[in-house]
C-alpha cells in the first residue's frame, strides 16, 4: 500500500516539474487537473477499510480538482479569449531548476522533521513541501492571472498532501469544509479574473500597476 502511495506522490512531484516547464496554458491546466485527480485517489489507499465518508471525500476531490476547477479555468480562458502562450517572469529553464532544487531541498528538509513509525518511508512530507515550493515559483514567476491561479492550486495540492498524514485523526468534516473552501475560492477568483479582463482588456497582471507606492 505504501509503495503505491509513494508512486502516486512521486507522480504528483513529477507533475510539478511538468507544470513548471509547460509553455501553454491548456497544458498547465491539464497538468494541475491530473495532479488533483492523483491526489483524490490517495485517501482510498491510506484508509485500509472501506468507509463511506472517505470514499465521498475522495470522489469529491477527484471531481472538484479534476473536473470542476479546471473547467472553470478553461471557461475563464475562453471567455477572456487570451493568448494561450505563457509569458514567464522567471524563464522555463530557471523555473525547472528552481523546482528541481526545491524538490531536493524538500527531501532533505523532511529528514529533519520526526515522523510517526507508520509514516516512515512515506514521501508525503517531501511531496507536500515540493508542491508548496512549486506553487510559489508559479505564483511569482508567471504573468497571466490564470497561470497564477494554477500556481495557487498546486500550492493547495501540497497542503492537501500534508493533510493526508492526518486523515485518520481529523474528522472528515474538516476535510470536506476545506475542500469546499478551496472550490469556492477558485470560483471567486474566476469571477475576478473575468472582471479584470473586462476592466483592463487583458489578463496580464503586469498591467495591474496603478496601485503602488
Partner 1 sequence: MNSLLLIFIPFAGALLAAAWPSDRTRPWLLPIVGLAHTVIVLCLMVSPQAVDPASWIAFDPLARAVLPAVSILFLCCAVYGVYYLRLRPERPNRVFVSMLLTVLGLLSAGHQSRHLGLLWMSTEAVTLASVPLIHFNGTPRAFEATWKYLLVGGTGIALSLLGSFCLGYASLRGGGSGDLTFTALMSQGSRLSQPWVLTAWVLLLIGYGTKMGLAPMHTWKPDTYGEAPGIVGAMLAGGVTTVAFTAILRVHAVLVASGNGLIADRTLIGLGLLSMFVAALFLLGTRDFKRMLAYSSVEQMGVLSIGAGLGGAGLWAALFHVWSNSLTKGSLFLSAGNIRRAAGARTTDEVSGMSTLTPRSALLFVTGMFAITACPPFGPFFSELLIVRTGFASGHAVASGLFLGCLFLAFIGLTRLVFAIVDGRPRAESRAAGKRFPETAGMILPSVVLLALSLWLGLFTPEILRHAWSAAVSQLFPSS
| DSSP β-bridge partners for residue 88 | 142
| Contact call for residues 129 and 91 (beta carbons, < 8 A) | no
* # residues near partner 1 by CB under 8 A: 41
Q: Which of 36, 88, 99, 158 binds partner 1 (CB under 8 A)?
A: 158
| Contact call for residues 29 and 150 (beta carbons, < 8 A) | yes
Contacts of 57 (CB under 8 A, 6+ apart): 43, 172, 175, 176, 179
CB of 140: closest distance to partner 1 in angstroms? 10
- Measured CA to CA, the distance from residue 155 to residue 157 in angstroms comes to 5
CB closer to partner 1 out of 90 and 139:
139
Query: 26-45 mask for partner 1 (x: CB under 8 A)?
Result: --------------------
CB of 170: closest distance to partner 1 in angstroms? 6
- Measured CA to CA, the distance from residue 158 to residue 39 in angstroms comes to 9
How buried is residue 63: exposed, middle or buried, by Cβ count under 10 Å (0-12/13-18/19+)? middle
CB closer to partner 1 out of 93 and 174:
174
By CB under 8 A, what part of segment 182-211 binds partner 1? 184-185, 188-189, 192, 195-196, 199-200, 205, 208, 210-211
CB of 77: closest distance to partner 1 in angstroms? 16
Q: For residue 109, give Cα distances in angstroms to 56, 63, 78, 104.
A: 33, 32, 41, 9
By CB under 8 A, what part of segment 76-115 binds partner 1? 112-115
- Measured CA to CA, the distance from residue 94 to residue 191 in angstroms comes to 31
Check binding of 159 to partner 1 (CB under 8 A).
Answer: yes
User: Residues interacting with partner 1, by CB under 8 A?
Assistant: 112-116, 128, 132, 136, 139, 145, 148, 152, 155-156, 158-159, 162-163, 165-166, 168-170, 174, 177-178, 181, 184-185, 188-189, 192, 195-196, 199-200, 205, 208, 210-211, 213
Amino acid at each position: 500500500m505504501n509503495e503505491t502511495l509513494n508512486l502516486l506522490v512521486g507522480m504528483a512531484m513529477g507533475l510539478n516539474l511538468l507544470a513548471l516547464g509547460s509553455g501553454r496554458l491548456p497544458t498547465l491546466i491539464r497538468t494541475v487537473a491530473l495532479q488533483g485527480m492523483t491526489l483524490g485517489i490517495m485517501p482510498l489507499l491510506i484508509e485500509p477499510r472501506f468507509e463511506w465518508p472517505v470514499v465521498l471525500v475522495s470522489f469529491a476531490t477527484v471531481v472538484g480538482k479534476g473536473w470542476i476547477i479546471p473547467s472553470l479555468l478553461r471557461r475563464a480562458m475562453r471567455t477572456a479569449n487570451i493568448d494561450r502562450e505563457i509569458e514567464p517572469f522567471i524563464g522555463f529553464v530557471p523555473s525547472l531548476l528552481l523546482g528541481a532544487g526545491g524538490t531536493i531541498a524538500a527531501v532533505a528538509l523532511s529528514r529533519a522533521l520526526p515522523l510517526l513509525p507508520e509514516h516512515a518511508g512515506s514521501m508525503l512530507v517531501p511531496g507536500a513541501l515540493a508542491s508548496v515550493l512549486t506553487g510559489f515559483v508559479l505564483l511569482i514567476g508567471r504573468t497571466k492571472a490564470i497561470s497564477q491561479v494554477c500556481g495557487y492550486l498546486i500550492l493547495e495540492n501540497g497542503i492537501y498532501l500534508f493533510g493526508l498524514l492526518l486523515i485518520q485523526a481529523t474528522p472528515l468534516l474538516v476535510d470536506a469544509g476545506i475542500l469546499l473552501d478551496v472550490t469556492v475560492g477558485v470560483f471567486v477568483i474566476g469571477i475576478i479574473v473575468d472582471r479584470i479582463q473586462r476592466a483592463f482588456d487583458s489578463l496580464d497582471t503586469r498591467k495591474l500597476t496603478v496601485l503602488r507606492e
